Amino acid sequence: MPVAQARTKRPRDADEAVGMPDAVRAKTEAARGESGDAADAGLPASASSGVADDAAAAAGKAAAAAAPAAPAEGGAPSHKRKRGRRYTVSIALPGSILANAQSAELQTYLAGQIARAVTVFCVDEVIVFDDHTVKAGVTTSASVAGAAGGGAGAAASLGGGDVCALMARLLQYAETPQYMRKALFPRHRDLRLAGLLAPLDAPHHVKKGEWSRFREGVVLTKNAGSVKGAKSRGALVNCGLVREVRISQPVMQGVRVTVRLDETKEECEAIDRFAKGAPKCHKGSAVPPSAPREEDGTYWGYSVRMAGGLADVITKSPYKGGYDLTIGTSERGTSTVDDPASLEMKPFKHALIVLGGVEGLEEALAAEEAETATGLGLAGDEVSELFDFWVNVLPEQGSGTIRTEEALILSLASLRPFLRAANAPKPPKVE
């Protein structure tokens, strides 16, 4: 499995396409170029979470061979080591839910709520898809309110792809550690209210004074330093520490990487306080962002992918072999969390949970078939055939409608026990 974890460089133009860096999270398992798929879906290539460029991929491969073993017991992090998690959970939801917010402030706040929810429930991938319910050129309530306030670019009407891009950008921004945002995100009108996003407080958002053997960083310089007159092939990385981290892999400048530190906690503190005899910088190696999750079960953030519709959500998975467990949610679901027997799941590697928007998944599929001719050959009321499980997460609901952001929390909370049980270690056989 490829380990290309250095993520692509920041866009040169702040207004190009969606304006977000592909690299903000290109998963190791996603090492299969997505730019062509994004173009086919009618979306800007830069909005899709694809693989890093060639130089980054080479660096990632080198990381697998050069990755050091976990630190000795004396240098172990202070947190208790846990069992690694090999499976992933992905969530797909329509970007059109932002179009119902009454102002740009509420749109940003709503995206922040979604970012918080997926982080709390350890979701590994967020897919923002176009459900074709917001037509291009239709002025939304948020754009009207923004225009009245005179915000930059607020008067522009939002089409389906625009609200998807807005949500994807805000989700990526929230997921990125604070000390990396200036380097990875150029100024953009969609981020002018990013201060309203609530902090995620995720494990990879390491606070000052905290210790973690894994850290996220952005490459400052390539070929950093020298060794007896010969140029080093490594790079210097800003990982939010007082001093930079030198990695052995030659990674392009401006690329986001996951770094495993070689030092113990005490050695790291000595370097940062400029202790006598301590090295001038930290040492580490670039590793896949899945390493913290797979090695000790530490949640390490989510990737963001854009999809042109339900067909792209399912068929253009970044994981090798695709999703082996797919779950659709609807108030008309045939399986319910009140009937555990209807949700007996087999062990899986990559699970996908799909939520509908205001009109539901049935209308989304019908609109997609009418507009794009995906070739699925299914009517809207046959959408359940796309999934292994068609689930009603809240039978006998008290309200006539459940908002998507509410359904997100309900679905993740209700399905979490079933997902964990499916991949729980089997008890040893008693002879």
Task: Indicate if 328 and 277 belong to the same structural domain.
Answer: no
| CA gyration radius, the chain | 22
Q: Look at residues 132, 166, 165, 129 and name the one whose alpha carbon lies nearest to residue 146.
A: 166
Task: Indicate if 255 and 373 belong to the same structural domain.
Answer: no
- Name the domain boundary from 290, 314, 335: 290
**Alpha-helical segments (H) within 356-403:** 360-372
Task: Indicate if 178 and 272 belong to the same structural domain.
Answer: no
The pLDDT averaged over each successive group of 10 residues in the chain (431 residues) is 38 38 41 37 35 40 41 41 85 93 93 97 96 60 39 41 90 96 93 94 88 93 51 81 89 93 86 77 92 94 94 92 94 88 93 91 84 70 90 88 91 94 78 61
List C-alpha distances in Å: 281 to 204, 246, 250, 258, 278.
21, 7, 17, 17, 9
Burial 104-118 (b: 16+ CB within 10 A, else e): bbbbbbbbbbbbbbb
> Number of folded domains in the chain?
2
- Name the domain boundary from 269, 290, 311: 290
Q: Is residue 59 part of a domain?
A: no
What is the 8-class DSSP label of residue 8? Answer: P
3 state SS of 257: strand
Rounded Cα distance, 327 and 266, in Å: 46
Give the angle subtended at the CA of 241 by the CAs of 237 and 245, to the nearest 5°: 30
Neighbour tally for 425: CB within 10 Å: 6
Residue 250 has a pLDDT of: 87
Rounded Cα distance, 356 and 157, in Å: 23
3 state SS of 261: strand
Q: Is residue 324 part of a domain?
A: yes
Task: Indicate if 330 and 364 belong to the same structural domain.
Answer: yes
Rounded Cα distance, 272 and 344, in Å: 51
Q: Is residue 265 part of a domain?
A: yes
Task: Indicate if 123 and 161 belong to the same structural domain.
Answer: yes
Task: Indicate if 220 and 361 belong to the same structural domain.
Answer: no
- Name the domain boundary from 240, 271, 290: 290
Q: What CATH number does residue 258 fall under?
A: 2.40.50.140
Q: Is residue 356 part of a domain?
A: yes
**Is the Cβ–Cβ distance between 235 and 250 less than 8 Å?**
yes
Task: Indicate if 322 and 268 belong to the same structural domain.
Answer: no
Task: Indicate if 264 and 194 belong to the same structural domain.
Answer: no
What is the 8-class DSSP label of residue 69? Answer: P
Rounded Cα distance, 270 and 263, in Å: 10
Backbone φ/ψ region at 265: left (φ over 0), alpha (ψ -120 to 50), beta: alpha
Which residues lie across from 93 on neighbouring strands? 128
Task: Indicate if 354 and 399 belong to the same structural domain.
Answer: yes
Task: Indicate if 333 and 379 belong to the same structural domain.
Answer: yes
Q: What CATH number does residue 344 fall under?
A: 3.40.1280.10
Which residues form the domain of 220?
214-224+232-290
Q: Is residue 27 part of a domain?
A: no
Burial 339-377 (b: 16+ CB within 10 A, else e): eeeebebeebbbbbbbbbbbbbbbbbbbbbbeebebebe
Q: Is residue 345 part of a domain?
A: yes
Task: Indicate if 326 and 403 belong to the same structural domain.
Answer: yes
Q: Look at residues 357, 362, 360, 364 and name the one whose alpha carbon lies nearest to residue 404.
A: 357
Q: Is residue 13 part of a domain?
A: no
Task: Indicate if 196 and 321 belong to the same structural domain.
Answer: yes
Q: Is residue 2 part of a domain?
A: no
